[in-house]
A = this chain, B = another copy of it.
Amino acid sequence: MSAGPTPTTEQSAVPAYLVDGPEIYRRSFAIIREEADLGHLPHDAHDLVVRMIHSCGMVDLAADTEVSPGAVAAAHAALTAGAPVLCDAAMVASGITRRFLPAGNDVLCTLHDPRVPDLAATLGTTRSAAALELWRERLDGAVVAIGNAPTALFRLLEMVEEGAGRPAVVLGLPVGFVGAMESKAALVGHPAGLEHVVVHGRRGGSAMAVGAVNALALGAAR
Binding site for B on A (CB under 8 A): 1-2, 6-7, 12-15, 17-21, 24, 27-28, 31-32, 54-58, 89-91, 93-95, 124-129, 150-151, 154, 157-158, 160-163, 175-180, 182-183, 186, 189-192, 201-207, 210
Residue of B nearest to A23 (CB): B178
Contact B14–A177 (Cβ < 8 Å): no
User: In the complex, which of the residues B19, B178, B210 contacts A24, with contact meaning CB atoms closer than 8 Å?
Assistant: B178
A182 touches B15 (CB 8 A): yes
List, in ascending order, chain B residues with CB within 8 A of A189's CB.
13
**Are the C-beta atoms of A129 and B91 separated by less than 8 Å?**
no
- Contact B161 A1, beta carbon cutoff 8 Å: yes
Q: Which residues of B contact A57 (CB under 8 A)?
A: 175-177, 180, 201-205
Closest Cβ neighbor of A25 among chain B residues = B178
Evaluate contact between A27 and B178: CB separation under 8 angstroms: yes
What's the Cα separation between A7 and B158 when bound, in Å?
9
Given contacts A1-B161, A57-B204, 17 further A-B contacts (CB under 8 A): A14-B161, A17-B183, A24-B178, A28-B178, A54-B176, A54-B177, A55-B175, A57-B175, A57-B203, A57-B205, A58-B203, A91-B94, A91-B206, A94-B94, A94-B95, A205-B205, A205-B207
Cβ contact within 8 Å between B157 and A14 = yes
Q: Which residues of B contact A31 (CB under 8 A)?
A: 177-178
Measured CA separation A204–B114 after assembly (Å): 32
